[in-house]
Each structure stands twice: as structure tokens, then as C-alpha cells.
Amino acid sequence: MKQDKQEIRPRFRDLGYTVGDLEIGKLNSITDVPGVKVGHCTIIEGNSRLIPGKGPVRTGVTVILPHEKNVYREKVRAGYFVLNGYGKTTGLVQVQELGCIESYIGLTNTLSIPAVTDALIDFHIEENPDVGISTSSINVVVGECNDGFLNDMQGRHVKKEHVFHAIENASRNVEEGCVGAGTGMSLFGYKGGIGTASRVVIEKTAEYVVGVLVLTNFGHRKDLTILGKKLHKEGMKQVTKTQHHGSVMVIIATDAPLNNRQLTRLAKRAPLGLARTGSFASWDSGDIIITFSTTNRIRHDENAATINMSIINESTKLFSSFLKAVVEATEEAVLNSLCKATSMTGRDDNYVEAISIEKIKELLES
């Protein structure tokens, strides 16, 4: 079985509107950060009623590659922020302590966290056969949203081969909408999924990129806000069954030389971008933001007593620009996930409709 409609849908910016003030990167994508790649594996199978553990399947996995080299050997500085912690993201204890990420970052459905974690352990051990033998073990970071409204989540249908497939297919061209981890997600009562966007921050002597990728699965129709305008006026009835457990994962990448504390400051701005789309971060959401910088990597085998690094002077307007970039790119990435997602029927004929692009246009022209 395939997705209900396979039409080509526009990104938000294709509608002729901008989000915020800053310039976008070439691809308006997290992959504008040099070296960053994203791969998806979308798993859609079965058409019948839910047989728990058997299907139907509307899920997948998305993998973010922080750079093109061995990430365990060249860890990236990282930070995170939890807006609401009704979520199961794994690996964050070590990110906080050491301020870095040493694995690819996985995204999937809630109950497939263990399978994706295990598969990423497999992948990194293949690259680093000394893990857990003559060197330390490995910390893997995987986040999730709950796609159980459309997907047989109990079935844990994401397997090792899907994760490896996502890695192999990783590229700078990021598919958006109902792909990878985003396959079965819902956003403001419409179909959601994967979205991405970027902003460029220009400094006299350098140009930095802030890229955002979101996995969207939150909100009620009456809260949806596009460029400050509500699509549904008060009292509008919910026209489809929607999930109760909203969540969003936000992955922020940059090539700016920022340390763990500074990256944590960036992470705290993503909620401001979510707010502009209408989120109030409901009690049962896992709203988790992870930030990393591709610069000043930490060499696993470094033996020197001290490490030289150059970091952004945060007492400048430049640093505030990074903060603003996060807000704007997060807002636009959410809108991209909304625009690009297509309608989908899942378990027990649960149906989530894609938003009408025409209605968005009407709203913005009003």
C-alpha cells in the first residue's frame, strides 16, 4: 500500500512568503551546514485493521549525520533543552556531562528507540571495532515521536536494515513530509512529519549557517498559526480524529564554533519558533531540542593535555543573530513539514488529511 496522494507539494517559501528577517541558506535546509547529511527510510506496509505487533506499518527512521567522517572518532560539541519532557530521547545524560555527541542522531517512533539505538551501535562498531574492548563504549542519541494513531507502534517495525538503509541514503537533499521518522506523524490535526530550514549569519570575516530539522507531531487545529494568522477561527470543530500525544523533535546544526553552554542557549530558542506556529507545548508532549556544532570537534584519540579552540564571543550581536536564526528556522521548518506532508490512512482506517495548500494561500492573502 502506498500513501494516499503522491502529488508534489510545495515548501512554505514556494508560496511566496518569507519567515522572519534573516537570509536562508542555499538549500534552506539543515544540510546547508557543510558536512551534515540526512537519510530517511520510510516503511509503509499493510492495509488491514490493526493486529497489534503485525501492522499495518506507517513509520520509519531518519538519521542525521553530523559530518562525513567517523563521528565516534571526531565527536561534535552539543547541547540540548527539554521544553516538555514527556519523551524518551536516549543518550542525553552523557551529552550534558561531556558536551558532545559521538554518534549519528536517530529519529523514529517512540517504541522503536531501542532498535534504532542498537542498529546505530552496530554501525559505529563496524567503523570502530575497538569500542568496548580497547576503548570506551559508545553513547548513541535517538529521539522519537508517537506515531501510534496511524502506525502499529507495538510492532516495532523499524529494524537494523532500515537504519542502515537510511544511513546509506543520507545526502544533502533532505526529503520532507511523510518520510523517515515523519511517516506517521500529525501536526495541528493535519499530516506532519519532517521539515527543515536554515538561516545564514554573516560576520565581517566569516559566514555561518544555522540549520534546523524538525519531526513534527503536535498541536490542535484551532491553534495552528501561519505567519501570525490562525487558520481556524475559534469554535472550529475538529474534523478528524487526532492523536492525544503531541511532540516535536528539533535538531539544530551549525558550523559556528560554539561550545556546549552556547549550544544549550541556542536550543532554548527553538520553543520561541514553535510558539509562533501555535504550540503551547501540551502536558503530554516530548518537546526536545538537540543542538550541535560541526566545528571544534573532539578527537577521541587526543592525548594532548590541552586543546586549542576558537569559540564565538557571545557578548556580540553576532551571538544574538544565532538565537534569532534558531527561532526563524524552527518556525519555517515546522511550516515546511506541514506543507510537504501528504494525507495518509493508517491502522483501523485512521486518516490524517494533508493541509490544503489553497487554504494556506487564502489565509495569507486575506
Residues near 219 by beta carbon (within 8 Å), at least 6 away in sequence:
187, 188, 189, 246, 277, 278, 279
**Catalytically annotated residue among 103, 112, 186, 247:** 247
User: Crossing angle, helix 317-340 and helix 260-267, to 10 degrees?
Assistant: 50
Report the site for its own copies in 284-303 (rule: CB under 8 A). Answer: 284, 286, 288, 298, 300, 302-303
CB of 284 to its own copies, least distance (A): 7
Instruction: Give 200 or 272: the residue with its C-beta nearer to its own copies.
Output: 272
Instruction: Give 80 or 190: the residue with its C-beta nearer to its own copies.
Output: 80
Q: Are 326 and 293 in contact (CB under 8 A)?
A: no
Active site residue 134: no
213: left (phi > 0), else alpha (psi -120 to 50), else beta?
beta
Active site residue 287: yes
Task: Work out which of 1, 15, 200, 319 binds its own copies, going by CB under 8 A.
Answer: 319
Report the site for its own copies in 334-363 (rule: CB under 8 A). Answer: none
Instruction: Give 65 or 115: the residue with its C-beta nearer to its own copies.
Output: 115
Instruction: Give 31 or 260: the residue with its C-beta nearer to its own copies.
Output: 260
Instruction: Give 1 or 98: the residue with its C-beta nearer to its own copies.
Output: 98
Q: What is d(CA 43, CA 2) in angstroms, rounded to the nearest whole number? A: 10
CB of 171 to its own copies, least distance (A): 27
115: part of which helix (H) or strand (E)?
helix 113-127
Choose the binding region for its own copies from 162-170, 183-191, 224-232, 354-362 (rule: CB under 8 A): 224-232
Task: Work out which of 206, 207, 241, 349 binds its own copies, going by CB under 8 A.
Answer: 206
Strand partners, 42: 60
Instruction: Give 7 or 126: the residue with its C-beta nearer to its own copies.
Output: 126
Report the site for its own copies in 56-95 (rule: CB under 8 A). Answer: 82-94
Does 366 interact with its own copies (rule: CB under 8 A)? Answer: no
Q: What is the CA radius of gyration of the chain?
A: 20
Q: If you ran DSSP here, which 8-state letter would residue 67 be given?
A: S
Choose the binding region for its own copies from 60-68, 171-179, 223-231, 357-365 (rule: CB under 8 A): 223-231
Active site residue 320: no
Report the site for its own copies in 122-181 (rule: CB under 8 A). Answer: 125, 129, 131-133, 136-140, 146, 148, 153-154, 156
Mask: binding to its own copies, 2-31, rule CB under 8 A, as x and -?
A: -------------------x----------
**Catalytically annotated residue among 103, 198, 287, 321:** 287
Q: What is d(CA 198, CA 196) in angstroms, rounded to the nearest whole number? A: 7
Instruction: Give 150 or 354: the residue with its C-beta nearer to its own copies.
Output: 150
Report the site for its own copies in 256-285 (rule: CB under 8 A). Answer: 257, 259-261, 265, 268-269, 271-276, 279-284
CB of 269 to its own copies, least distance (A): 6
Whole-number Cα distances in Å, 192 to 77, 119, 121, 208: 29, 26, 29, 29
For the chain, give the longest Cα–Cα distance: 64
Q: What is d(CA 94, CA 132) in angstroms, rounded to the nearest whole number? A: 16
Place of cell 488529511: 353
Task: Work out which of 6, 315, 365, 366 binds its own copies, going by CB under 8 A.
Answer: 315
| Cα atoms in the 13 Å half-sphere on the side-chain side of 230 | 12
CB of 98 to its own copies, least distance (A): 7
Task: Work out which of 8, 204, 237, 365 binds its own copies, going by CB under 8 A.
Answer: 204
Whole-number Cα distances in Å, 58 to 4, 50, 162, 213: 12, 11, 13, 20
| Amino acid of residue 254 | T
Backbone CA torsion sign across 343, 19, 176, 258? negative
Task: Work out which of 2, 6, 306, 366 binds its own copies, going by CB under 8 A.
Answer: 306
Q: Are 265 and 289 in contact (CB under 8 A)?
A: no
For the annotated catalytic residues, the residue numbers are: 247, 285, 287
